[in-house]
Structure 1
């Protein structure tokens, strides 16, 4: 996951092209990945497209089983990072996770508001490469449709929102300090779209992954202090009201020399995101 405890995403298993997987019964518990660095609490009512991925069976009930973020892109479709639904993260193949759900309309994970929608199908981008982190996209189909106006539109290829220097916001329930201090309330942090060269220099075949502008987007705080962190993986990066990226990977949290790497939405399978 983003800034994982092992510092790497290698070992995550890429699934078959456009495979459809139905969660089934499993047992045991997996360790959850470690909120947004330098962020502020926000109400999900302001951003109804931000959702949490949860499995109490795998991660316990303290944080309602939250282990990754996601974003509603259609009434019954949620996009997240492919590595979030890998065996590396879940501890078992996705087909053995019996209670995979998407929590919507709830700022406080331990609260009782909102809705917990069951995930009926999971599709992995056929181009996903667990070794380099390229194509880090997954699409979840919900068993229940949510209000259409809650979905966010994605910025298509060539959209100005991808231009370096553009202000953006990243959302999540992950680590807020980089030391395992998890938030129970949704947070948001301001970042900036950075030139591809910044991440190419930071991650030239690093232990964390290899930056590729074809499927990845570089974003962060040039001065440090604002970033995504553990537990934010799959969560949305939004600029000019459009989805431009999903939290994917990086080295450390909130460090100027180690920007965040996001899955670039314009590189997602064309039918997956509603373009703005």
Structure 2
């Protein structure tokens, strides 16, 4: 918990200082109607990380930047192409993080959390849930990651939604790069495309289903390395069980 607090405080401090370089590198600006499952998670009104809509009451994110003991300091924004204005902003009622989540250096096995909102989202063209994958996509499959992490020229201003097209990387090849890779993780990447720390929690989508949650940013965001994601298909039983408890 001390580590989670440290990460959150560090993140908020960077936001306040205007020194964040976290972004979807090489991405293109997107309209929320193209990625209506996209959400952003905020602590005390400041963008903390990404999230994804599972239902009108539930969003999924990474465990890395949430504080389950203090749900009311969190809020979620959906339905907007900008992270801190427009769409719908809803306060958080309850958070459950994976009980086996643990940072191992920069790696985070079981980096998943589910959130119940205080009020239901109004679903529509720009706010829509996405189904969970039953199996991880095969190596070479096309996937898309979206998020608000890319900075504008004035980084203290609101951030726009960006996306990148990626390909799923063979597990064994990725494991050769990252020796701590485990079955609850998958990798995706493309030359010139990467994500940074603010995109943790953002959705990776393939064939219309949620296949990953940004978990570990590869090699300090260098785009020649794939990004590591929580493997949604592998973690699906835990996700559904946790949702039932909320």
**Which interval holds the TM-score relative to the shorter structure?**
0.7 to 0.9
Give the C-alpha shift of residue 251 in structure 1.
1.6
Determine which of 194, 209, 229 is the counterpart of 2:169: 194
Three-state SS of the structure 2 residue aligned to 1:231 is helix
Structure 2 gaps, min length 5: 6-11, 242-246
* Structure 1 stretches lacking a partner, 5+ long: 1-9, 14-28, 58-63, 86-92, 205-209
**Corresponding residue SS for 1:270:** helix
Deviation at 1:121, TM superposition (A): 0.3
Aligned residues: 221
Shift of 1:181: 9.9
1:163 aligns with: 138
Distance change (3 Å), C-alpha of 1:241 and 1:126: same
Q: Please, what TM-score do these two structures have when normalized by structure 2? A: 0.81
Q: Is the 8 A contact 2:68 2:94 kept in 1?
A: no
Query: 1:58-117 CA distances to partner (integer Å, 9 max, x unpaired)?
Result: xxxxxx5111000001111110001121xxxxxxx5534643100011111243x21111
Kept in 2, the 8 Å contact 1:154–1:273? The answer is no
Conserved 8 A contact 2:37-2:52: yes
- The root-mean-square deviation of aligned C-alpha atoms, in Å, is 2.6
Quote the residue 2:47 is aligned against.
66
Does 2:80 align with 1:102? Answer: no
2:90 to 96, 105, 117: 117
Q: Distance in 1 between matches of 2:139 and 2:157?
A: 30
Please give the per-residue CA displacement for 1:167-220, whole angstroms capped at 9, x wherever unaligned: 11101111469xx8997100000110000122211112xxxxx211x1000110
Higher strand fraction (1 or 2)? 2
Give the secondary-structure state (helix, strand or coil) at the position aligned to 1:156.
Answer: coil
Tell me if the contact between 1:44 and 1:107 (Cα under 8 Å) persists in the aligned partners.
Answer: yes
TM, length-normalised to structure 1 = 0.72
Q: Structure 1 residues 196, 71: CA separation in 2 closer, same or farther (over 3 Å shift)?
A: same
Distance 1:198 1:44, change over 3 A: same
Query: Which has a greater percent of helix?
Result: 2
Distance in 2, Cα, partners of 1:176 & 1:170: 16
Counterparts of 1:182 and 1:172 in 2: how far apart (Å)?
Answer: 16
